[in-house]
Protein backbone atom coordinates (compact mmCIF):
# COMPACT_ATOMS: atom_id res chain seq x y z
CA UNK A 1 0.00 0.00 0.00
CA UNK A 2 1.32 3.40 -0.95
CA UNK A 3 1.66 5.64 2.06
CA UNK A 4 0.87 9.30 2.20
CA UNK A 5 4.00 11.42 1.85
CA UNK A 6 3.84 13.86 4.72
CA UNK A 7 4.78 17.50 4.38
CA UNK A 8 7.29 18.87 6.88
CA UNK A 9 4.55 20.88 8.55
CA UNK A 10 2.32 17.83 8.93
CA UNK A 11 5.18 15.87 10.48
CA UNK A 12 5.82 18.72 12.90
CA UNK A 13 2.14 18.85 13.84
CA UNK A 14 2.20 15.16 14.65
CA UNK A 15 5.39 15.61 16.69
CA UNK A 16 3.77 18.42 18.66
CA UNK A 17 0.55 16.51 19.40
CA UNK A 18 2.05 15.32 22.69
CA UNK A 19 4.75 17.92 23.29
CA UNK A 20 7.47 15.84 21.66
CA UNK A 21 6.61 12.69 23.56
CA UNK A 22 5.57 9.22 22.48
CA UNK A 23 1.77 9.01 22.48
CA UNK A 24 1.94 5.54 23.97
CA UNK A 25 4.59 5.47 26.70
CA UNK A 26 5.21 9.20 27.13
CA UNK A 27 8.98 9.04 26.57
CA UNK A 28 10.60 12.17 25.24
CA UNK A 29 11.53 11.68 21.61
CA UNK A 30 13.81 13.69 19.36
CA UNK A 31 12.06 14.95 16.26
CA UNK A 32 14.45 13.03 14.04
CA UNK A 33 13.77 9.79 15.93
CA UNK A 34 9.99 10.08 15.87
CA UNK A 35 8.14 7.28 14.18
CA UNK A 36 4.61 7.85 13.01
CA UNK A 37 2.20 5.17 14.09
CA UNK A 38 -1.12 4.45 12.44
CA UNK A 39 -3.51 4.11 15.38
CA UNK A 40 -5.70 1.76 13.40
CA UNK A 41 -3.14 -0.12 11.32
CA UNK A 42 -3.44 0.16 7.56
CA UNK A 43 -3.46 -3.62 7.37
CA UNK A 44 -6.79 -3.81 9.15
CA UNK A 45 -8.43 -0.96 7.29
CA UNK A 46 -7.03 2.11 9.06
CA UNK A 47 -6.88 5.29 7.01
CA UNK A 48 -3.61 6.82 5.88
CA UNK A 49 -4.67 10.19 7.29
CA UNK A 50 -3.23 12.56 9.90
CA UNK A 51 -6.19 11.88 12.20
CA UNK A 52 -5.10 8.24 12.33
CA UNK A 53 -1.47 9.05 13.11
CA UNK A 54 0.32 9.41 16.44
CA UNK A 55 3.93 10.19 17.33
CA UNK A 56 5.66 7.11 18.63
CA UNK A 57 9.06 6.11 19.94
CA UNK A 58 10.84 3.36 18.06
CA UNK A 59 10.19 0.81 20.77
CA UNK A 60 6.41 1.35 21.02
CA UNK A 61 6.06 1.44 17.26
CA UNK A 62 7.94 -1.82 17.07
CA UNK A 63 5.91 -3.48 19.83
CA UNK A 64 2.57 -2.24 18.56
CA UNK A 65 3.42 -3.35 15.02
CA UNK A 66 0.11 -4.26 13.38
CA UNK A 67 -1.95 -4.29 16.57
CA UNK A 68 -4.76 -1.87 17.22
CA UNK A 69 -4.95 0.01 20.56
CA UNK A 70 -6.72 -2.72 22.51
CA UNK A 71 -4.53 -5.40 20.99
CA UNK A 72 -1.43 -3.42 22.02
CA UNK A 73 -2.82 -2.93 25.53
CA UNK A 74 -3.49 -6.64 25.84
CA UNK A 75 -0.03 -7.48 24.55
CA UNK A 76 1.61 -5.17 27.11
CA UNK A 77 -0.56 -6.42 29.94
CA UNK A 78 0.85 -9.90 29.44
CA UNK A 79 4.52 -8.90 29.59
CA UNK A 80 4.79 -9.83 33.25
CA UNK A 81 3.39 -13.30 32.55
CA UNK A 82 5.83 -13.77 29.70
CA UNK A 83 8.80 -12.62 31.77
CA UNK A 84 7.80 -14.89 34.63
CA UNK A 85 7.43 -17.81 32.27
CA UNK A 86 10.51 -17.23 30.12
CA UNK A 87 13.15 -15.44 32.16
CA UNK A 88 15.00 -17.07 35.04
CA UNK A 89 16.78 -13.76 35.67
CA UNK A 90 13.44 -12.00 36.02
CA UNK A 91 12.09 -14.59 38.46
CA UNK A 92 15.25 -14.30 40.56
CA UNK A 93 15.10 -10.50 40.44
CA UNK A 94 11.49 -10.59 41.61
CA UNK A 95 12.26 -13.01 44.44
CA UNK A 96 15.04 -10.77 45.73
CA UNK A 97 12.94 -7.63 45.44
CA UNK A 98 15.16 -6.16 42.73
CA UNK A 99 12.14 -5.74 40.52
CA UNK A 100 8.56 -5.53 41.66
CA UNK A 101 5.47 -6.32 39.68
CA UNK A 102 3.10 -3.42 40.11
CA UNK A 103 0.29 -3.80 37.63
CA UNK A 104 -0.85 -5.32 34.38
CA UNK A 105 -3.16 -2.37 33.79
CA UNK A 106 -1.92 -0.29 30.89
CA UNK A 107 -2.88 3.32 30.39
CA UNK A 108 -1.41 5.08 27.37
CA UNK A 109 0.03 8.56 27.49
CA UNK A 110 -2.54 9.88 25.03
CA UNK A 111 -5.28 8.70 27.35
CA UNK A 112 -3.89 10.86 30.14
CA UNK A 113 -3.14 13.93 28.02
CA UNK A 114 -5.34 15.88 25.72
CA UNK A 115 -4.19 16.73 22.22
CA UNK A 116 -3.16 20.17 23.45
CA UNK A 117 -0.94 18.62 26.10
CA UNK A 118 -3.23 19.58 28.97
CA UNK A 119 -4.65 17.10 31.42
CA UNK A 120 -7.87 15.55 30.20
CA UNK A 121 -9.70 15.52 33.50
CA UNK A 122 -8.40 16.74 36.77
CA UNK A 123 -9.80 15.72 40.11
CA UNK A 124 -7.88 15.04 43.29
CA UNK A 125 -9.62 11.66 43.59
CA UNK A 126 -8.30 10.70 40.18
CA UNK A 127 -4.73 11.31 41.29
CA UNK A 128 -5.17 9.04 44.27
CA UNK A 129 -6.09 6.25 41.92
CA UNK A 130 -3.14 6.80 39.60
CA UNK A 131 0.01 4.73 39.73
CA UNK A 132 3.39 6.50 40.09
CA UNK A 133 4.03 5.89 36.40
CA UNK A 134 0.75 7.55 35.49
CA UNK A 135 1.52 10.50 37.75
CA UNK A 136 4.86 10.92 36.00
CA UNK A 137 3.09 10.87 32.66
CA UNK A 138 0.55 13.37 33.89
CA UNK A 139 3.21 15.79 35.07
CA UNK A 140 4.76 15.56 31.62
CA UNK A 141 1.43 16.61 30.13
CA UNK A 142 1.71 19.99 31.73
CA UNK A 143 5.39 20.32 30.90
CA UNK A 144 6.82 19.31 34.27
CA UNK A 145 9.39 16.62 34.82
CA UNK A 146 9.31 15.39 38.37
CA UNK A 147 12.32 13.48 39.51
CA UNK A 148 10.53 11.82 42.41
CA UNK A 149 6.95 11.17 41.37
CA UNK A 150 6.54 8.56 44.09
CA UNK A 151 6.70 11.17 46.81
CA UNK A 152 3.84 12.97 45.24
CA UNK A 153 1.45 10.11 44.89
CA UNK A 154 -1.92 11.04 46.31
CA UNK A 155 -1.05 14.70 46.65
CA UNK A 156 -2.17 17.58 44.57
CA UNK A 157 0.67 18.20 42.15
CA UNK A 158 -0.48 21.22 40.19
Residues in contact with Zn ion by CB under 5 A are 22, 24-25, 27, 57, 60
Instruction: Write down the least CB distance from residue 21 to Zn ion, Å.
Output: 8
Q: Please, are residues 90 and 84 in contact by the beta-carbon 8 Å criterion?
A: yes
Q: Please, are residues 64 and 70 in contact by the beta-carbon 8 Å criterion?
A: no
By beta-carbon proximity to Zn ion, the closer residue of 110 and 127 is: 110
The alpha carbon of 50 is separated from its chain's Cα centroid by a whole number of angstroms, namely: 19
By beta-carbon proximity to Zn ion, the closer residue of 15 and 24 is: 24
Question: Which residues share a beta bridge with 21?
Answer: 28
Instruction: Write down the least CB distance from residue 40 to Zn ion, Å.
Output: 18
Instruction: Write down the least CB distance from residue 36 to Zn ion, Å.
Output: 13
Residue 109: count of CB within 10 angstroms of its CB: 22
By beta-carbon proximity to Zn ion, the closer residue of 60 and 135 is: 60
Amino acid sequence: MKRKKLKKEERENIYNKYNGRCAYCGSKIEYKDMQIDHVVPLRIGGKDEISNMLPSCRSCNHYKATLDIEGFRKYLSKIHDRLTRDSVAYRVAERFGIVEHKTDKVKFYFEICNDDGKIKTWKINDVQKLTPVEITKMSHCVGLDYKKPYERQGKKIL
